[in-house]
Amino acid sequence: MLIEFCASGDHIANIVYSSYSTNFGPVLTAWHGKVLCFVAFLEHYSTDSVIARIKKLFPKATLTYSNDTPNIFIYQPEKILLIGTPFQHKVWRALSELKPREIITYSTLAARIGHPRAVRATATAVGANPISYIIPCHRVLPVSGGIGLYHWGEDIKLKILKHEGSLP
C-alpha cells in the first residue's frame, strides 16, 4: 500500500464518502478518487461530527455521499493520504510498519520513532490518526496494562484486537 503524507489537505477539491456496517459497528470512509483519506467508526459519534472533522482536514473540498465506495474491510486500498504534522507522520509511518497482530506500547513507539521522551505527544498523534484500522493505532497499548483508550471507543478497540488475535 502506498502512503502519501501531506501537511495540508488544501489541494483536495473533491471527497466522496460513504458509511456501512461492519463487525465493529458502523463505519464512514472518505475517498479522493481511489485514495482513502479518512476512516471513522460511528458507534459513539454522529455522522455530522465526523463530516466536520473531514472538512477541517480538507477545507476546500466538496463532500459528496455515495454508496459506491470500496469496503475497506474487504478490499484494502492501494493508496492512502495522511494529513498531519511531520511528527504525526513519523508516528503513523511507524504504525503502518507494524507486523500483523503486533502490539506496541506508547513508550516503545516513541522510542522507535527516535523520540523516547515524547510519549505523551506520541499518544496524541496516535489518537489523531485519520485512517483508523488501516493504520493500526488500535494496536498501541499502555505499558501499565489493559487496552487503553481509543478515539473511537474502547469497546471497538477491544473488538478489533480480538478479531485480529492481537491481544497478548
Query: How confident is the prediction along the chain (168 residues), in pLDDT tens digits per residue?
Result: 999 999 999 999 999 999 999 999 999 999 999 999 999 999 999 999 999 999 999 999 999 999 989 999 988 899 999 999 999 999 999 999 999 999 999 999 999 999 999 999 999 999 999 999 999 999 999 999 999 999 999 999 999 999 999 986
- Residue 14 vs residues 10, 30, 161: alpha-carbon distances, Å: 11, 10, 33
Which domain range does residue 106 map to? 86-164
- Last residue in a domain, options 48, 80, 112: 80
- Last residue in a domain, options 80, 115, 147: 80
* pLDDT given for residue 116 in this prediction: 98
How confident is the prediction for the chain on average, in pLDDT?
A: 96
* pLDDT given for residue 167 in this prediction: 84
Name the active-site residue from 137, 140, 156, 160: 137
- Residue 22 vs residues 32, 40, 43, 107: alpha-carbon distances, Å: 22, 12, 11, 31
Contact in structure between 119 and 107 (CB atoms under 8 Å): yes
- Last residue in a domain, options 55, 80, 105: 80
Contact in structure between 34 and 12 (CB atoms under 8 Å): no
Q: 102 with 70, same domain?
A: no
Q: 136 with 118, same domain?
A: yes
What is this structure's pTM? 0.94
- Residue 167 vs residues 113, 120, 138, 145, 159: alpha-carbon distances, Å: 23, 23, 11, 11, 10
55-80 pLDDT, tens digit each: 999 999 999 999 989 999 988 899 99
* pLDDT given for residue 168 in this prediction: 66
Is residue 137 among the annotated active site residues? Answer: yes
- Cα–Cα distance measured from residue 71 to residue 59, given in angstroms and rounded to the nearest whole number: 25
- What CATH number should be reported for the domain holding residue 107? 1.10.10.10
* pLDDT given for residue 68 in this prediction: 87
